[in-house]
Amino acid sequence: MTTIPEDLDYLATRVHGRRSQLAEGERLEALCGLKSVEALARAVLPGSEAPSAVAFQRRVARGWLLEMAELAGGLGRRRAQMMEAIARRLTIEDREAEARGLTALVPRAASGQEAALPRRGPPGREGAGRRPARAALPAPPPGALAPGTALERRSLEGLVAAMGGLDRADRSGVGALVRHEVDAFHLMLVVRGRFLRGLAPGDLLPWRVEGAAITRELLEGMLSAPYLARAAAMAVGAALDRPPPEPVEPASLDRLAWQRFLRLARRTFREGATGLAVLVGYAALRRVEVRNLTTLSEGIRLGLPTETIRAHLVPPGRREVARA
C-alpha cells in the first residue's frame, strides 16, 4: 500500500483559503439579522435543507468533523492523532454547554420551570484510536456532576497525550490552545461543581487533568475560595484573560473562557505559518464558528431578540472585526 506523503504547505494553503469563508466578523453580523432557521441554513449551507434547528446544528457539526478528518488524512501519524483528538472535543456535552448561556434567558413557562433546550445526539462517530490510561475517579453523589464530565475529562486527556506525541516545534505551536482547553475545564469544574452544586473540594480535586497552567495547588485554592469572583480571579492567565465584571455570573465566565480561546486560536493561526499550528488554529476557529452558529440557531428558534443573541456570541457585541 502506497503512503501519501505529508504536505503541510498544501494543507496550510487550503485552510488559509477557507478562512475567508468562515461565519465571523461582518458575515456573522449579517447572519444575526435572519429571522428563521431555514434562512440561516440557506445562507450557511447552500444547497442543503435543514428543516429544524436541531437538523441545522447536526449538519454544521458534522461538516466540522468531516473537515477535521480530511485534514488528519493528509498528515503523518502523530500529527493526524492530534487532529483526531481535537475532533473528539465536539461532544454532546460540549454542544449543550455552548447553548447553556441561552438557557438562562428563555422565558419561564407557566409552570414556573425553565423552557428546556432540545437534547441532541452526536453528529457522528468518534475517531478511532486508543485512549490513554487514566486513574479511577471518585463517584460523585448522583446528579452532582453532569453526566458528560467524565467524557469531557477523557477527551482532554487524549488531547494532552496527542500533543505529547508531537515534536518540540509542533508542541510549542499548539501548546497554548491545548492548555487553555484543559484550564477552561478546570474553571467550569469549580463553577459548576463547587459553586452551583455545592460539592466539596475533595470530591472535585481528583478530576483535575495534568498538563496545563492550573496546578493542583492552584485548583485547590480555587475550590476553597469563599466566593466565585475570587475563584475566577485566580484563573486569570490560564482560563481567562481578565477578571470578570462583578457581580460574577457563571454564564459570563463560560463566555470569557471562549473569548480567550478565540484570541489564542487567532494567534495560533496567524503565527503558525505553514506548520501544524496553522491547522490547529484553523480547527479552533472553525470550532468557534460551530459554537456561534449553534447559539444563533437556538436563539432564532426560541424567538430571542437579536441583541440578546449577539451578546452570547464569541466575541459578543456588534460589528467586531474578526481578523484582529
Residue 158 has a pLDDT of: 95
Would 117 be classed as within a structural domain? no
Choice among 9-13, 37-41, 45-49 with the minimum mean pLDDT: 45-49
Residue 247: asked if its preceding bond is cis (omega within 30°), the reply is yes
Per-residue pLDDT, 47: 83
Say what the pLDDT of residue 257 is: 97
Question: What percentage of the chain carries pLDDT values higher than 90?
Answer: 70
Cβ-proximal residues to 90 (8 Å cutoff; 6+ apart), any chain? 61, 64, 65, 123, 287, 290
Structural domain range at position 155: 8-107+146-311
Q: Is the pLDDT of residue 199 over 80?
A: yes
- Please report whether residue 269 resides in a domain: yes
**Cα gap 248→260, rounded to integer Å:** 17
**Per-residue pLDDT reduced to its tens digit, 259-271:** 999 999 999 999 9
| Confidence at residue 306, expressed as pLDDT on a 0 to 100 scale | 93
Q: What is the band of 172 on the pLDDT scale with cuts at 50, 70, 90?
A: very high
- Which tens digit of pLDDT belongs to each residue from 147-171? 678 888 999 999 999 999 999 999 9
- Any domain includes 317: no
Over range 296-301, report the average pLDDT. Answer: 95
| Residue 83, in any domain of the structure | yes
Least confident of 55-59, 242-246, 270-274, 288-292: 270-274
* pLDDT in the model for residue 20: 92
The 3-state DSSP class for residue 235 equals coil
The reported pLDDT for the residue numbered 321 is 39
Return the pLDDT at 273: 75
What pLDDT is stored for residue 149 in this prediction?
85
Is 86 inside any structural domain?
yes
Residue 217 has pLDDT above 60, yes or no: yes
| 216 occurs within a structural domain | yes
**H helices present in the chain, as ranges:** 8-19, 25-31, 37-44, 53-73, 77-87, 92-103, 149-164, 168-188, 201-204, 216-224, 228-234, 250-271, 276-302, 306-311
Q: Is the pLDDT of residue 180 over 50?
A: yes
Mean pLDDT, the chain, integer: 83
CA distances from 124 to 5, 22, 284 (A): 27, 22, 19
Question: Closest Cα partner for 211 from 264, 158, 247?
Answer: 158
Q: What is the mean pLDDT of residues 34-45?
A: 94
- Asked if residue 136 is part of any domain, the answer here is no
Question: Could you give the number of structural domains in the chain?
Answer: 1
Residue 112 maps to a domain: no
Count of Cβ atoms closer than 10 Å to residue 300 Cβ: 22
Q: What average pLDDT does range 125-129 have in this prediction?
A: 37
CB 233 within 8 A of CB 245: no
Predicted local confidence at residue 188, as pLDDT? 95
Q: What pLDDT sits at residue 123?
A: 37
Q: Name the pLDDT band for 322 (thresholds 50, 70, 90).
A: very low
pLDDT given for residue 127 in this prediction: 38
Say what the pLDDT of residue 142 is: 44
Q: Which tens digits make up the pLDDT trace of 202-216?
A: 999 999 999 999 999
Q: How far is the C-alpha of 41 from the C-alpha of 28, rounded, in Å? A: 13
